[in-house]
Structure 1
């Protein structure tokens, strides 16, 4: 993953769309992958008990994960 907009980042963004944190994991950012996965799936879990009201939090977190994977630039 050499630069923003590279094919690797596109693959990472697609991976994050289907499984939260997978794009960060593909990029080798294990800590970020764990944090995104735990927080987003916790928000989705809470949304099931609040009749979907917590989707206001869960969906932006998921979108943030996808954008983070797509815009990542390795140092």
Structure 2
């Protein structure tokens, strides 16, 4: 088994482990400036349709999210 195979397996396991928790992250409420430095490196563990939808919403504010975003939390 190569290092690349180990990385693929680790990413696959992490993706399966976090799958149910991803829906609780409020991606749509993130500042657009934070998306690339905070989220992009983890795109391999996020559903492809979610990443695509987030990018569409960030690029065009008239587009409504396909995924059900949670209500905004006010601190």
Q: Same fold (TM over 0.5)?
A: no
- Using structure 1 for the length normalisation, give the TM-score: 0.29
- Using structure 2 for the length normalisation, give the TM-score: 0.29
Higher helix content, 1 or 2: 1
Which structure has the larger Rg over C-alpha atoms? 2
Q: Which has the higher contact order (CA 8 A, sep 6+)?
A: 1
